[in-house]
């Protein structure tokens, strides 16, 4: 019998939590799309008149900005690593790649 550090009730909570996380993510994507559309069309009345929505939207945009910035850094590092690997390979083959 495998060792485990939970009982069956905690497993149920874990599954419910995972299901809830997926639902929250889905609703967040829909809300983000709605706010983006409202902002792009200049019809941001919804954003201004729904209590708490403007604060959520500002925070969400900042989180997206930070996430995109972090993703760009990862991609830039990967590109640099790839270029370095290609240059090493090219030197071994006696050719200039980049």
The pLDDT, as a whole number, for residue 15 is 60
The pLDDT, as a whole number, for residue 87 is 86
- With b meaning 16 or more CB within 10 Å and e meaning fewer, what string describes 27-57? eeeeeeeebeebeeeeebeebeeeeebeeeb
Dist CA 77 CA 11 (whole Å): 38
Q: Which two tokens stand for residue 84?
A: 């370095």
Dist CA 78 CA 94 (whole Å): 24
pLDDT tens over the chain, length 98 residues = 344 444 555 565 666 788 888 899 999 999 999 999 998 988 767 788 889 999 999 999 999 999 999 999 999 999 999 999 988 888 888 866 55
């Amino acid at each position: 019998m495998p060792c485990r550090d939970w009982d069956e009730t905690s497993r149920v909570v874990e599954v419910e939590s995972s299901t809830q996380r997926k639902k929250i993510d889905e609703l967040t994507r829909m809300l983000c799309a709605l706010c983006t559309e409202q902002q792009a069309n200049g019809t941001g009345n919804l954003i201004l008149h729904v209590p708490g929505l403007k604060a959520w939207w500002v925070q969400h945009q900042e989180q997206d900005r930070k996430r995109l910035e972090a993703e760009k850094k990862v991609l830039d590092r990967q590109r640099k690593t790839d270029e370095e690997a290609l240059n090493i390979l090219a030197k071994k083959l006696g050719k200039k790649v980049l």
